[in-house]
Amino acid sequence: MAAAAVKEKVQGLRISEFAVNALRCPKCRSPLSVTPDTVACRSASCIAVYPVVHGVPVLINEERSVVSVSDFTGQKQTTFHRQPGLQRLFSRIIPELGVNRVGERNYRKLKELLTAQNASPKVLVVGCGETGRGMKAITAEAGIELINTDVWMGPFTEMVCDAHDLPFADHSFDGAVVQAVLEHVADPPRCTAEIHRVTKPGGLIYAETPFIQQVHGGPYDFTRYTHLGHRRLFRGYDEIESGATSGPGTALAWSYQYFLLSFVRSNGARAAVKAFARLTSFWLRVFDHLILETPGTLDAASGYYFMGRKSEGMLTDRELIRLYRGAGETLPASDCSLAP
Part in contact with Zn ion (CB under 5 A); list of ranges 33-41, 52-60, 161-169, 243-251 = 33-41
Part in contact with Zn ion (CB under 5 A); list of ranges 42-50, 121-129, 283-291, 317-325 = 42-50
65: number of Cβ within 10 Å: 18
Part in contact with Zn ion (CB under 5 A); list of ranges 38-46, 132-140, 183-191, 286-294 = 38-46
Environment class of 116 (CB within 10 Å of its CB; exposed 0-12, middle 13-18, buried 19+): exposed
Q: CB nearer to Zn ion: give 25 or 292.
A: 25
Q: CB nearer to Zn ion: give 1 or 20.
A: 20
Is 114 a residue that touches Zn ion (CB under 5 A)?
Answer: no
Q: Applying CB under 5 A, which of residues 25, 102, 137, 176 lies at the interface with Zn ion?
A: 25
End-to-end Cα separation, the chain, in angstroms = 54
Site map 47..86 versus Zn ion, x via CB under 5 A: -x--------------------------------------
Q: How far is the CB of 41 from Zn ion (least distance, A)?
A: 3
Part in contact with Zn ion (CB under 5 A); list of ranges 37-45, 87-95, 129-137, 250-258 = 37-45
Helices vs. strands in the chain: H and E counts, helices first: 13, 11
> How far, in Å, CA of 178 to CA of 54, rounded?
25
Q: Applying CB under 5 A, which of residues 15, 41, 233, 300 lies at the interface with Zn ion?
A: 41
* Residues that contact Zn ion, how many (by CB under 5 A): 8
Is 146 a residue that touches Zn ion (CB under 5 A)?
Answer: no
Residue pair 277/98 in contact (Cβ under 8 Å)? The answer is no
Part in contact with Zn ion (CB under 5 A); list of ranges 17-25, 53-61, 134-142, 225-233 = 17-25
> How far, in Å, CA of 107 to CA of 137, rounded?
6
Three-state SS at 154: coil
> How far, in Å, CA of 180 to CA of 8, rounded?
28
H helix runs in the chain, sequence order? 2-6, 17-22, 70-73, 85-93, 103-117, 136-139, 188-198, 227-233, 248-261, 267-281, 285-291, 295-300, 317-322
Three-state SS at 74: coil
Is 46 a residue that touches Zn ion (CB under 5 A)?
Answer: yes
Is 28 a residue that touches Zn ion (CB under 5 A)?
Answer: yes
Q: How far is the CB of 169 from Zn ion (least distance, A)?
A: 13
Is 27 a residue that touches Zn ion (CB under 5 A)?
Answer: yes
Computed from CA positions of residues 84, 155, 205, 66, in that sequence, does the dihedral angle turn out positive or negative?
Answer: positive
Q: How far is the CB of 196 from Zn ion (least distance, A)?
A: 21
Interface residues toward Zn ion, by CB under 5 A: 25, 27-28, 30, 41, 43, 46, 48
